[in-house]
Amino acid sequence: MKEYELTVLIHPDLEVDIDAPLSKVRAIVTTAGGTITTEENWGKKKLAYRIQKQDFAVYVYMQVALPADAPLKISNTLNITEEVLRYLLVTVDEKGRAALAEQELSAKSRVGRDDDTRESKEEE
């Protein structure tokens, strides 16, 4: 199973009852043999350009693990799903993820050192 990131733009009129279209997307992923690792609802956002006469969409981000044949099945199904305006299914870049985690760790350690430096200056 390979890791993927799936971002789905759901029709803005469905924001009130977002569970119905989300359960449909979840079912598409699980029917294709995948598992959803994490799911985040980013909320309703303005689109950069109109899609199907809509200026807004509800963004939902998922990390999924899929077998080799699942991305094609999911893409074909999401293309004809009325609730989904657009979607993006990409593989996870492990090197990029590791570099990002390392960068965040070094930023946290720098913040800790800056706090120590300020405290020692205040004591003087």
pLDDT tens digit sequence for 10-65 = 999 988 889 999 999 999 999 999 999 999 999 999 999 999 999 999 999 999 99
Q: What is the pLDDT of residue 8?
A: 95
- Strands ordered across the beta sheet of 35-51: 35-51, 54-66, 2-10, 84-91
Distance of CA 59 to the CA centre of its chain: 8
Specify the pTM. 0.76
Is the pLDDT at 121 greater than 90, yes or no? no
- Look at the alpha carbons of 67, 72, 73, 78 in this order and tell me if their dihedral is positive or negative: positive
Q: What is the pLDDT of residue 44?
A: 94
Is the pLDDT at 118 greater than 70, yes or no? no
Q: Name residue 79's amino acid.
A: N
Q: What is the pLDDT of residue 116?
A: 56
**Token duo for residue 120:** 């020692």
DSSP state of 15: S
Q: What is the pLDDT of residue 122?
A: 57
Q: Name residue 99's amino acid.
A: A
Q: From CA 25, how far away is CA 74, in angstroms rounded?
A: 9
Q: Are 85 and 51 in contact (CB under 8 A)?
A: yes
Angle between helices 19-31 and 70-79 (to 10 degrees): 150
